């Protein structure tokens, strides 16, 4: 079935793919079309957040997330098709996240995609969630290969050289917590509600970023790897030392934490740009930033300054396409179809995977590994 789908796609002037994303706590489906010139257009993009379902627990509960995906996904797919004004008969393929992620949720989306594909005689493409993030800038901004990717989200903190569809070289990753996780855990210890990232950023607006001298782990090490667990511990120790916390203390702690993170990201990005420019010979490389943490205005401002100083281009897709969504999965499927290569990803037997690194040749990092960063 997979090979039939590829030959069919190559003969058409445009290709339409339904994308399904269920790797964490967003249930999402999207319909995206790619024309013969390689330009993409989002026909629909439906995302249902599960923030309310997990609010009482201070974080995502995998079992609750998987159950919610089961209850929500069929309706979201129907809505995505209706918003696009299309039916299953208009589709050329179905793409779904097959990992990395919370395995229960990944299984729900992948099995649903396989069922749709089998019933309607369509190819199914098992998409790496990280590849969805990695290729989004080509959908939104038409970015050409190669480019440097900074992926910062709840489960991932990585620098990647994106050299082509299916060709990714990891330059650095976290050795412990991902940045989004560090934001969430900092919010929790400061008594801020979930989701942590936006609430830490909001609290920091009223804070004094110089009050607490938090560490900047891994700077000056000559490496592009990240470490945020020590910074998180420093925030906890500072908070415990002045407990009970007043509103001004929470604001100052949040601001000081965010300032440390911003410094780390900016300096690491400057080093990554220099390394990438040297390796590729590009005088004005492009830095693409993806993942939910890309919504943080302080980080975006710092990265803008960093890329301007280097003479590089900064591309940040719209926030709705930086967080988890079905459009990035549909687009990754379209990119795969355009190359004529879905080897290993177009098989009905393709399993759901909790971990699935983009760069399979990269050595594991001690302590890293949440949602695929461990590989």
Domain over 2-136+321-354 is classified CATH 3.30.1330.200: no
The reported pTM is 0.91
User: Quick one: how many helices (H) and strands (E) in the chain?
Assistant: 12, 10
Task: Give the pLDDT score at 292.
Answer: 87
pLDDT band at 343 (very low <50, low <70, confident <90, very high): low
Residue in this structure with the two tokens 């990265």, named with its chain if needed: 303
Mean pLDDT of the 83-88 span = 98
**Which tens digit of pLDDT belongs to each residue from 191-231?**
998 888 999 999 999 999 999 999 999 987 779 999 999 99
* Residue 9 and residue 92 in contact, taking contact as beta carbons nearer than 8 Å: yes
pLDDT at 341 exceeding the cut of 90: no
**Which tens digit of pLDDT belongs to each residue from 155-170?**
889 999 999 999 999 9
User: Hey, which CATH number is domain 144-316, 3.90.550.10, 3.30.300.30, 3.40.50.2300, 3.30.420.40?
Assistant: 3.30.420.40
Which residues 6+ apart lie within 8 Å of 70 measured at CB?
108
Mean pLDDT of the 336-361 span = 87
pLDDT band at 53 (very low <50, low <70, confident <90, very high): confident
Where, residue-wise, is CATH 3.30.420.40 in the chain? 2-136+321-354, 144-316
Note the Cα 133 to chain centre separation in Å: 5
């Amino acid at each position: 079935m997979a090979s039939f789908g590829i030959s069919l796609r190559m003969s058409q002037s445009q290709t339409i793919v339904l994308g399904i994303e269920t790797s964490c706590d967003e249930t999402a489906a999207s319909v995206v079309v790619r024309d013969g010139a390689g330009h993409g257009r989002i026909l629909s993009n439906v995302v249902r957040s599960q923030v309310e379902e997990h609010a009482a627990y201070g974080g995502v509960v995998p079992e609750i997330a998987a159950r919610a995906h089961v209850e929500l996904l069929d309706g979201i797919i129907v809505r995505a098709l209706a918003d696009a004004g299309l039916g299953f008969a208009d589709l050329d393929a179905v793409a779904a996240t097959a990992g990395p992620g919370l395995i229960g949720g990944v299984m729900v989306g992948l099995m649903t995609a396989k069922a749709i594909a089998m019933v309607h005689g369509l190819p199914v493409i098992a998409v790496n969630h990280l590849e969805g993030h990695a290729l989004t800038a080509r959908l939104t901004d038409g970015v050409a290969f190669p480019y440097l990717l900074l992926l910062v989200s709840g489960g991932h903190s990585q620098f990647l050289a994106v050299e082509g569809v299916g060709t990714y070289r990891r330059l650095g990753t976290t050795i412990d917590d991902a940045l989004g996780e560090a934001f969430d855990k900092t919010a929790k210890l400061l008594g801020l509600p979930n989701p942590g990232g936006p609430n830490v950023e909001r609290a920091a607006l009223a804070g004094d970023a110089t009050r607490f001298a938090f560490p900047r782990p891994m700077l000056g090490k000559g490496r592009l790897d990240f470490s945020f667990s020590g910074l998180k511990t420093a925030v906890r120790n500072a908070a415990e030392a002045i407990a009970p916390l007043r509103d001004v203390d929470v604001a100052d702690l949040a601001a000081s934490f965010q300032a440390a993170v911003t410094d780390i990201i900016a300096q690491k990005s400057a080093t990554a740009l220099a390394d990438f420019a040297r390796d590729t010979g590009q005088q004005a490389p492009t830095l693409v930033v993806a993942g939910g943490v890309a919504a943080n205005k302080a980080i975006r401002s710092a990265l803008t300054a960093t890329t301007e100083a280097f003479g590089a281009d900064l591309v940040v897709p719209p926030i709705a396409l930086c967080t988890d969504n079905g459009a990035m999965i549909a687009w990754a499927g379209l990119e795969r179809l355009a190359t004529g290569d879905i080897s290993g990803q177009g098989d009905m037997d393709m399993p759901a995977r909790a971990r699935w690194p983009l760069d399979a040749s990269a050595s594991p990092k001690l302590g890293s590994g949440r949602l695929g960063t461990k590989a």
